[in-house]
Amino acid sequence: QVQLVESGGGLVQPGGSLRLSCAASGPNLEYYAIGWFRQAPGKEREAISCFSTQGTSTYYANALKGRVTISRDRSKNTVMLQMNNLKPEDTAVYYCAAAYNVFSDYCLRPNYMGYWGKGTLVTVSS
């Protein structure tokens, strides 16, 4: 059973930056794809970025593309999301998710991700 805990959300001004972290725990984490998603009020959950299983590939969705960078610290089982030049429309709950044995960009598909954290709220406002 994989457990995911997000942190790093908060209030940021437009144009600002934020770094989110996802701490993963559980057995055989190297066999899991892991990524970031977000859900704004009244909208569907959408993908941001993910690592495929074993980190062999990295994928970015259109949301925040060019303004985000995903990275990982294997020693701490942590996946980070650096977000820059944030806009009010980026306000959402940001989720970390994982799925077993996903080697393709299917890790960008919410329906393929079987494990989810509780999310961290990001509010972009002046």
CB-count burial class (<10 Å; 0-12, 13-18, 19+) for 80: middle
**81 vs 56, residue with greater confidence:** 81
Residue 55: predicted pLDDT? 76
Average pLDDT in the chain = 95
- The mean pLDDT of 5-23, rounded to a whole number, is 98
How far apart (Å, rounded) are the C-alpha atoms in residues 26 and 114? 14
Alpha helices in 22-103 (DSSP H): none
In the predicted model, is pLDDT for residue 22 greater than 80? yes
Residue 103: predicted pLDDT? 87
How far apart (Å, rounded) are the C-alpha atoms in residues 57 and 33? 10
Contact 50, 59 (CB under 8 A): yes
CA-only gyration radius of the chain, Å: 13
Contact 123, 91 (CB under 8 A): yes
Reported as a pLDDT band with limits 50, 70 and 90, residue 1 is confident
pLDDT, tens digit, for every residue of 59-115? 999 878 899 999 999 899 999 999 999 999 999 999 999 999 998 899 999 999 999
- The mean pLDDT of 15-20, rounded to a whole number, is 98
